[in-house]
Amino acid sequence: IIEPSNLYECSLADYVFVGPFVEITKGVEIGNSTRISSHSFVCELVKIGNKCFIGHGVMFTNDTFSNGKLGGGKKNWKKTLIGNNVLIGSNATILPVKINSGCVIGAGSVVTKDFLAKESIYLEQTLLKENVGVQDQILTVYGGFNHVQILADGTFHVNPIQLSKEKKKQIL
């Protein structure tokens, strides 16, 4: 741990490196041999796996500002889970998502569910040359009950369908 840094009730496993001017807040878990570079911010509800690299100035957020305002507290915040052996380039912004083990996130990226869906579509259609649609990738990334609109230009819109607890029990 290089000073100055701010660590608040977080859990650091063995051989974790924390660079200067890093802030890690309450409840964060950092796995073995992970490196957090200078000027990064890791907020509550973030769990980072083993042997990850977090570049300089990477910012994690747990509030999606849904409805155009602050979440108002932890009950409205969302989790971020980073797998093992993940590399995140400098100045990336990570919104609440799950990033699977072995992923590489480029410098300056803004990682949202849209980003992950688009990356999985690119991987399957362009790199693997699979002749497939996009709905499976979108639904897998977003999870839950959603109305998905896929436009002719390849863009898509995802809107959650609000269901009562009773209705969810009937469906499931």
Give the H or E element holding residue 165. Answer: helix 165-171
**Sequential pLDDT tens for the chain (172 residues):** 899 999 999 999 999 999 999 999 999 999 999 999 999 999 999 999 999 999 999 999 998 777 677 777 788 888 999 999 999 999 999 999 888 888 889 999 988 876 777 778 888 888 888 888 888 888 887 778 888 888 888 777 888 788 888 887 887 7
pLDDT of residue 44: 95
Give every CB contact of residue 98 below 8 A, 6+ residues apart in sequence.
80, 81, 83
The alpha helices in 53-154, defined as continuous H runs, are: 113-122, 135-142
Question: What's the Rg (C-alpha) of the chain?
Answer: 18
Q: Find tokens 């998502």 and name the residue.
A: 97
Task: Look at residue 27 in the predicted model and tell me its pLDDT.
Answer: 96
Task: Report the pLDDT value the prediction gives residue 140, as an integer from 0 to 100.
Answer: 80
d(CA 146, CA 49): 29
CB 24 within 8 A of CB 54: no
Q: Report d(CA 3, CA 92) in Å as an integer.
A: 23
pLDDT of the residue at 116 = 75
CA distances from residue 135 to 97, 106, 118, 139, 163 in whole angstroms, order as listed? 19, 25, 11, 6, 21
| Number of Cβ atoms within 10 Å of the Cβ of 131 | 6
* Bridge-based pairing state of the strands 156-160 and 146-150: antiparallel
